[in-house]
C-alpha cells in the first residue's frame, strides 16, 4: 500500500526502512539485476503504477549514473486485476504504451509490495498484451507473505512477514511524501 496514513497512524506504525535503508535496498537490487541478468543488454524495467513505477524509475536512474541506459515505463494494471473489475465497478482504462518493444526482452516487473500475488499476475497479463518478452522477472521492495496465488519474486528488497491485520505502508518522495519510508501499520490505522 503506497502513501496511506496520516499523523494519527504514526503512533502505531513500525518503521522497517527509512530513506537511507530504502536507498541501500534499491542499490542492492540494481546489483542483483545486473548480476543475475548477466549484464543489462536486453533488460527493460516496467513498474506497476504508482509505487512500482517510482521504484523502476529509481533503478533506471541508478543504472544511468553508472553509464547504462535501461528503458523504463509505467504499467496500469487496473483493467487486469480480477479483484477490482466487477459489474458495479470498472477501473478507468488507461493506454499502456511503454515507448519501447517488450518482444524478446528480459522484463523486470517492479512493484512496491508483494502480498496476495494478484497485482503480479495482473502485471504479467498486462505485459503480454503489449508484447512477448523472453523472460519476466518480478522485483518488489517488500514481500509481506500471505500469497493467494503461486507467485514468487525474483528480486526482493526486504522480506517482512505480516499478519492479516497488518499492512505495509510505503511512502515515496515522488508521490508527495516528505521522505521515503517503509512501515508496518495495524489494519485500523491506515
Give the pLDDT confidence of 134-157 residue by residue, as tens digits.
999 999 999 999 999 999 999 999
Quote the radius of gyration of the chain (alpha carbons, Å). Answer: 16
In a domain, 185, yes or no: no
Kindly give the parts of the chain with pLDDT less than 50: 1-9, 85, 91, 189-190
Domain assignment of residue 48, yes or no: yes
Residue 37 within any structural domain of the chain: yes
Count of Cβ atoms closer than 10 Å to residue 30 Cβ? 23
Tell me whether residue 92 is in a domain.
yes
Quick check: is 96 in a domain? yes
**Is 171 a member of any domain?**
no
Which stretch of DSSP H or E encloses residue 143? strand 135-143
Would you say residue 172 lies in a domain? Answer: no
Q: Is 8 part of any domain? A: no
3-state SS class at 154: coil
pLDDT of amino acid 3? 43
The pLDDT, as a whole number, for residue 2 is 46
Position 83 scores a pLDDT of: 52
Q: Grid coordinates representing 13?
A: 506504525
Task: Report pLDDT for 94.
Answer: 57
CATH of the domain at 136: 3.40.50.2020
User: What's the whole-model pTM score?
Assistant: 0.85
Domain count, the chain: 1
Residues in the chain, total: 190
Q: What is the DSSP letter of 155?
A: E
- Give the range of the structural domain holding residue 25, as residue numbers without chain letter: 20-164
Amino acid at each position: 500500500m503506497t502513501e496511506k496514513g496520516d499523523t494519527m497512524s504514526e503512533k502505531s506504525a513500525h518503521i522497517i526502512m527509512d530513506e537511507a535503508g530504502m536507498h541501500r535496498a534499491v542499490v542492492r537490487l540494481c546489483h542483483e539485476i545486473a548480476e543475475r541478468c548477466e549484464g543489462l543488454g536486453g533488460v527493460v524495467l516496467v513498474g506497476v503504477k504508482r509505487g512500482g513505477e517510482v521504484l523502476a524509475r529509481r533503478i533506471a536512474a541508478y543504472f544511468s549514473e553508472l553509464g547504462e541506459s535501461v528503458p523504463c515505463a509505467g504499467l496500469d494494471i487496473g483493467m487486469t486485476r480480477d479483484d477490482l473489475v466487477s459489474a458495479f465497478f470498472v477501473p478507468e482504462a488507461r493506454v499502456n504504451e511503454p515507448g519501447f518493444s517488450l518482444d524478446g526482452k528480459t522484463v523486470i516487473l517492479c512493484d512496491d509490495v508483494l502480498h496476495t500475488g494478484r497485482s503480479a499476475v495482473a502485471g504479467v497479463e498486462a505485459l503480454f498484451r503489449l508484447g512477448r518478452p523472453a523472460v519476466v522477472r518480478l522485483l518488489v521492495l517488500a514481500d509481506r507473505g500471505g500469497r493467494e496465488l503461486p507467485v514468487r519474486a525474483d528480486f526482493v528488497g526486504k522480506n517482512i512477514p505480516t499478519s492479516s491485520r497488518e499492512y505495509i505502508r510505503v511512502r515515496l518522495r515522488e508521490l508527495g511524501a516528505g521522505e521515503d519510508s517503509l512501515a508496518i501499520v495495524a489494519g485500523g490505522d491506515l
